[in-house]
Every structure is written in C-alpha cells, then in structure tokens.
Amino acid sequence: MGIGRTPLQNDPLAYQINWYGKSRLFHNWAEAKAKVYLDFGKEHLWRLIFFHAKDKVGAIGPIPKSIFIQNCHTGTEISLLKREL
C-alpha cells in the first residue's frame, strides 16, 4: 500500500492511498456498512473515506486516538477529520 505524502487538494486532512497488492482487503472494507479505521500504531487512527476497487485508489483521513476514544466513551458521534492535529 502506498500513502501519499501530501494531502489531497480539496481536503487538507485526507490522504490518497494506492493499493498495489492482490488482496481484496480495501475492496471489502469499502463495501462495509460500518466505518473502517486503520491503526498503524501511532497516535492517530486513519478512517477509510473511500476506495475505488477498479482503480485501487482511495483516501484515508486521520483522527487522534484520544478523540476517537473520548467519542466512544461519551457515546457521541465519532468526529470526522478533526483539525485538532
């Protein structure tokens, strides 16, 4: 998987991903009814915003783990692409 180093132009908190493998992982996640979050072991989770299976291109957006946990703990809707980075 490749993650772009610069944000997408229309959304400064979304990053393009390119899937190079043969796995259908992102394709399956894109079809999921629930929101999908990726954890690479750092201070942020990455939400899968969209993924086009045909082109194997998509976008992910960061959310601090602390905000995600706080939202879950208080029962509020999970914040999307917060600017609290």
> Is residue 81 in some structural domain?
no
Q: Token digits for 22?
A: 């043969």
Name which of 69, 66, 52 is nearest 18 in CA terms.
Answer: 52
Q: What is the CA radius of gyration of the chain?
A: 13
Residues 6+ positions from 49 with CB-CB distance below 8 Å: 14, 58, 59, 60, 61
Containing structural domain, residue 32 = 2-74
State how many domains the chain has: 1
pLDDT of 51-61, one tens digit each? 888 888 888 88
- Whether pTM exceeds 0.85: no
The per-residue pLDDT for range 20-33, each reduced to its tens digit, is 887 788 888 888 88
Domain-embedded: residue 66? yes
| Residue 40 domain-assigned (yes or no) | yes
In a domain, 80, yes or no: no
Tokens of 48: 């899968």
